[in-house]
Structure 1
Amino acid sequence: MSDDTVFLTGFPGFLGSALVDRLLSRGEHVTCLVQSKFRDLAEDRRDDLEREHGVDDAIALVEGDITEPDLGLPDDGEFARDALADRTTEVYHLAAVYDLGVDRDFAMAVNVDGTERVLDFCRACDPFDRLHYVSTCYVSGRYPGEFTEDMLVEGQSFNNHYESTKFLAEVRVQDAMDDGLPATVYRPSIAVGDSETGETQKYDGPYHVIRYFLDQPGVAVVPEFGDPGAVEVNVVPRDFVVDAIDAISAREDTRGEVYQLADPDPPSVAEMQAAFAAAANTWTVDVRFSKAAFQWLLREVDAFRDWTGIDPAIVDYFTHPTRYDTTEASAVLADEGIECPDFREYAPRLVDYVRRHPHVGNDAMT
């Protein structure tokens, strides 16, 4: 086993698996913290990645849980907390609850308390190069106007416990940075499938709209709240997120910075709906509707929710008042030859993937 290792949470998730692939390309040894219920899947993905890279023993799997003391690591042996910390040079913290309807207590346990335990682990590592922390643009909550990369605590309100707990977690990370912990923060916006293949691990967020259009018999009623041409929906394909984190994390000059991995030219609500409807071969009829009444119907009337297939939690994002500045991220990524793909170009691939893979679920990996 290698003397030094990179420690990663969030494997074998979609993003975590992709980042492990990139780390292997750099010649790194990676130790992945894996929940016991995902052990079999993690072993399969480890074997696939090592086979693709032609390496053996490059990925170590250790069972644990960020919600447990000392990350649930073993009490003794090579994966005991202190023994592992002595070998760890970098940490990638991706594990979180990505669920808009998550219960507050569970979200606090995973997103906030879990991040605190990862920070404690980082502090035990010596020497330590850096923590790479994956946050979200939606630490902004419903901030009215442009939210920049140097903003965080702005008195904002939040749509749900996912947003509020990711905000609290990033506050903890930035406090640790202020106290001297070397770290870089990455804030993706709403992640969707691969821009080339459409592949994704689960159907959530905008995918509720795609499935609604695909399920309609050629014509779909579209509820209209306010001015859908004036509200943006910021989505980014997962390959862009992986490319961006890979490139930024490899640079020495990105320590201590926050990068918003958002689309600098996002579609409006109207543009997104039109692109998805066109790819689904569905005509749309816009109907003025009360947002509150629409959400009430989705929450309280089973037949209405079953007919639309729409999660009431996503409705808030179609009246979202925030725009995301990407000045720092765009500058660094331009140096690396990376830019966010145009939503209007890859939207049909997302729809086609859903059409060809109707049985993908929408459950978060928790």
Structure 2
Amino acid sequence: MSDPPAAPPPEVLFTGFPGFLGSALLRRVLARGDGPVACLIQPQYRDLAERRAREIVAAVESDAPGEAAVHLYEGDITEPDLGLGRALDDPALLAEVGEVYHLAAVYDLGVDADLAEAVNVRGTQHVLDACDRLAVDRLHYVSTCYVSGRYDGVFTARHLREGQSFNNHYEASKHRAEVAVRERMADGLPATVYRPAITVGDSRTGETDKLDGPYNLLRLLTAQPERLAFAFSVPGADETELNVVPRDYVVDAIAELSGRADAVGETYQLCDPAPLTVPAFVAALSDAAGRRTVTVPTPKRVAEAAARLLSAAGVDVEPATIDYFDHPTRYRCPNARDALAGTGVSVPPFESYVDRLVAFARENPDVGDDPMV
């Protein structure tokens, strides 16, 4: 009896698995017929990665039997060679990789400077070095709209280095990381950059694996009586846009654009072209949470101090979120809208799915806000 044929080596490399966004996108990439896929994972997440990989492969193979394969490689983007060493040069392992999806990052507004630099900046540089070593045909890099920092005005995909200040180390490190990617693109690396806005749960199910960002406001509201709840209103909030998109839109957009050759060299902001202002967002969240909410004019420093006191008292309200109540930047996405026109991929209005976000958060109180690091 002849030996069974050897499994084909991976052709795609993912970072950021088994994260929430990476898991959903991996399924879409496999369902499209790309792969086999190698996923770079940290040892502490192996059990979760194995479980999610099995679930994804089973789901994909129910539609396309035998075509999905996921290989898990323990490593770390903070290390040179991604902690993979000679595997990058071995044709039986990773040397055949021609496409890289880089999603791994510390998504945490309160991250300290050293960790943000190690993961978001140096980690991205190590991924770029691996792309050069593998001579990949394409890199897909997930950035964030908030590379804008506190840019005063309309910020589009054309903007990057505008002399802006930053709200926190997360924003600053993601900015430096995208600058590094764009510099490699200028040197000839075929790549596409995707900048999601504030990403919340799935618009159809509400599902998420991290209750951060806008969920801080939800926790504040639900910790108060239904008949009367209070929320902060810092100076400038009435004119501030809070740009929020659901996970499924981000995944659908990246899945669509990553399969198109005409997207190489482009940067796409995956944001809501018609976002709510902060007062309208608070009102929509209050309605979904069943709260009659009064907004209290509050100096910003007082609001930040109150958030710290609330967190110490057990109501987890991240003080760093207060900076987004008077954030001066407005995000627009003309090239993303044009590229996605006619595909069926578009941003649903926040009011159309906020009730599902609230329901999921209430039904899953054990979901935390810690980043996957």
**What TM bracket, shorter-length normalisation?**
over 0.9
Aligned partners of 2:233 and 2:325 also within 8 Å:
no
Moved more, 259-268 or 18-27: 18-27
Alignment of 1:80-159 (within 5 A): 80-81=88-89, 83=91, 84-126=93-135, 128-159=136-167
> Which residue pairs with 1:164 in the alignment?
172
> Which residue pairs with 1:283 in the alignment?
292
Structure 1 letter corresponding to 2:43: S
What's the offset of the Cα at 1:306?
2.5
Aligned partners of 1:10 and 1:96 also within 8 Å:
yes
Match of 1:72 among 63, 74, 83: 83
Aligned equivalents of 2:311 and 2:211: distance in 1? 19
What's the offset of the Cα at 1:305?
4.4
Aligned equivalents of 1:51 and 1:119: distance in 2? 32
Structure 2 letter corresponding to 1:168: R
> Which residue pairs with 2:21 in the alignment?
15
Moved more, 96-105 or 53-62: 53-62
SS in 2 for 1:335: coil
- Cα deviation digits, residues 246-304 of structure 1 (max 9, x gap): 000001100000000000010110111001111111111221111112212333x3x56
Aligned equivalents of 2:195 and 2:89: distance in 1? 28
Alpha-carbon distance change, 352 to 106 in structure 1, aligned in 2, over 3 angstroms: same
Aligned equivalents of 1:305 and 1:314: distance in 2? 16
SS in 2 for 1:271: helix
SS in 1 for 2:120: helix
Moved more, 32-41 or 48-57: 48-57
> Which residue pairs with 1:261 in the alignment?
270
Structure 2 letter corresponding to 1:22: R
Moved more, 214-223 or 149-158: 214-223
Aligned equivalents of 1:231 and 1:249: distance in 2? 32
Q: Does 1:292 pair with 2:301? A: yes
SS in 2 for 1:131: strand
Aligned partners of 2:42 and 2:76 also within 8 Å:
yes
Query: Cα RMSD (Å) of the superposition?
Result: 1.5
Structure 2 letter corresponding to 1:296: A
Structure 2 letter corresponding to 1:18: A
Match of 1:203 among 202, 211, 224: 211
> Which residue pairs with 1:226 in the alignment?
235
Aligned equivalents of 1:91 and 1:198: distance in 2? 29
Aligned partners of 1:6 and 1:31 also within 8 Å:
yes
> Which residue pairs with 1:194 in the alignment?
202
> Which residue pairs with 2:45 in the alignment?
38
> Which residue pairs with 1:322 in the alignment?
329
Aligned partners of 2:10 and 2:71 also within 8 Å:
no
> Which residue pairs with 2:190 in the alignment?
182
What's the offset of the Cα at 1:342?
0.7
> Which residue pairs with 1:5 in the alignment?
11
What runs of 5+ residues in structure 1 fail to find an aligned partner? none
SS in 1 for 2:293: strand
Aligned partners of 2:203 and 2:246 also within 8 Å:
yes
Aligned equivalents of 1:251 and 1:290: distance in 2? 47
SS in 2 for 1:336: coil
> Which residue pairs with 2:3 in the alignment?
none
Match of 1:336 among 338, 343, 346: 343
Length-normalised TM-score, structure 2: 0.93
Aligned partners of 1:85 and 1:124 also within 8 Å:
no
Aligned partners of 1:92 and 1:133 also within 8 Å:
yes
> Which residue pairs with 1:350 in the alignment?
357
Match of 1:310 among 311, 317, 325: 317
What's the offset of the Cα at 1:308?
4.3
- Cα deviation digits, residues 71-106 of structure 1 (max 9, x gap): 00154xxx3455455201100000000011111011
Match of 2:71 among 44, 60, 66: 60
Aligned equivalents of 2:103 and 2:69: distance in 1? 19
SS in 2 for 1:185: strand
What's the offset of the Cα at 1:125?
1.7
Aligned equivalents of 2:232 and 2:102: distance in 1? 38
Aligned partners of 1:85 and 1:122 also within 8 Å:
no
SS in 1 for 2:353: helix
- Cα deviation digits, residues 160-200 of structure 1 (max 9, x gap): 00000000000000000000000000000000000011000
Alpha-carbon distance change, 214 to 205 in structure 1, aligned in 2, over 3 angstroms: same
Length-normalised TM-score, structure 1: 0.95
What runs of 5+ residues in structure 2 fail to find an aligned partner? 1-6
Alpha-carbon distance change, 81 to 101 in structure 1, aligned in 2, over 3 angstroms: farther
Structure 2 letter corresponding to 1:14: F
What's the offset of the Cα at 1:4?
4.9
Structure 1 letter corresponding to 2:292: W
Aligned equivalents of 1:332 and 1:52: distance in 2? 29
